[in-house]
Amino acid sequence: MKILVIGTGSIGTRHINNLLKLGVRPVLYSCSGVRKFKELDYIDSLSVQEFDGILVCSKTSQHEEHIAFALQCSKNIFIEKPLLMKLDEFASWGGLVNPEHYIETGFMLRLHPQVKQIKEIIESGDLGRLLHCKLNVGQHLKFWRPNVDYVDSYSAKATEGGGVLNDLSHELDLARFFCGAYRSSSAQILSGSAINIESEASADVISIHNNGIQSNVHLDYLNLAYTRNSQFIFERGSVFWNYATAKLQVFDNEGVETLSQSMSNFDRNDMYEDYVQHFLNNIKSGEKNAVSDLEDGLEIVKLINVIKKENVDESLRNRG
């Protein structure tokens, strides 16, 4: 199987290592020119050629070019989230998409076993209708890449696709995954000036979904203690999930705990490996059952763009 990985940064490296673990030796394209995988083959330029599958793992600001290239070279494309910086970039390559294409958009948290359990609880109706969910994730940017000065990382630069809305968009996708399509959203955004970065350092997004469920999503680069948790309020109970400790709790209508589950051996790389294996399996079988498809990716880009535009407009009104 001939697989190309575009981008060999942190997420590209993770996917490359998982491909090797799964018995696939990918061909690589280094956006920086650095060839750190000496044992693997590289292509020198993005000249159109055929591949069984392509993983786009470059900076978000480079996705527009790299997705357009990938669509001309393969029917099977895996694009790391977020899909694009701006929704209007879709116009440059959307016409290349056809029914033969199978596209994944990288929201791997959907594959977490406890996320699947929460989804099953919601769909079962055992606790009644879901009324509200709150998702929270935060970690100081200096802890993200220990060998890199975070001020120089792409996360710190809005022009390269950095900022919590893009970097931590998994939670925005999970809110949609659990609660349904977004109807309306409003947000408060905090600039990154407190930690000397150009991108936004914090965002609080409150949304109403098409089925009337309310969600509240908090994202930040500021928390010195890594935090990632969620809570779900139902008509007849509640669910609490702590990603950081892999603990899931369910409470009934009387507030009695009916489930307390901890995954002590959970390894976050399992989700990435499972996602790559899913991608490879679909290539082999010709199926197109995406974990998160093109529409899922585009909807989150649309949401982020609306939030950013409204906050820019609000800032201009306040200055006036």
Instruction: Please tell me the pTM assigned to this model.
Output: 0.95
Domains of the chain, each with CATH number or no CATH? 3-108+273-292 (3.40.50.720), 110-266+302-316 (3.30.360.10)
Q: What is the pLDDT of residues 247-262, one digit of tens each?
A: 999 999 999 999 999 9
Average pLDDT value over all residues in the chain: 95
By three-state DSSP, how is residue 207 classified?
strand
Three-state SS string across 220-254, please?
Answer: ECCCCCCEEEEEEEECCEEEEEECCCCEEEEECCC
What pLDDT was estimated at residue 316?
A: 35
What pLDDT was estimated at residue 132?
A: 98
Residue positions counted in the chain:
320
What pLDDT was estimated at residue 319?
A: 42
Show the tokens assigned to 86. 């701006």
What pLDDT was estimated at residue 312?
A: 62
Q: What is the pLDDT of residues 6-56, one digit of tens each?
A: 999 999 999 999 999 999 999 999 999 999 999 999 999 999 999 999 999
Q: What is the pLDDT of residues 176-214, one digit of tens each?
A: 999 999 999 999 999 999 999 999 999 999 999 999 999
What pLDDT was estimated at residue 146?
A: 83
**Per-residue b or e along 272-310, where b marks 16 or more CB atoms closer than 10 Å to that residue's CB:** bbbbbebbbebbeeeeeebbbebebbbbbbbbbbbbbee
H/E segment holding residue 134: strand 130-138
Query: Would the pLDDT of 236 be above 70?
Result: yes
What pLDDT was estimated at residue 310?
A: 87
By three-state DSSP, how is residue 200 classified?
strand
Q: What is the pLDDT of residues 278-318, one digit of tens each?
A: 999 999 999 999 999 999 999 999 999 999 998 864 543 44
Q: What is the pLDDT of residues 90-131, one digit of tens each?
A: 999 999 999 999 999 999 999 999 999 999 999 999 999 999
Query: Would the pLDDT of 166 be above 90?
Result: yes
Show the tokens assigned to 305. 């763009």
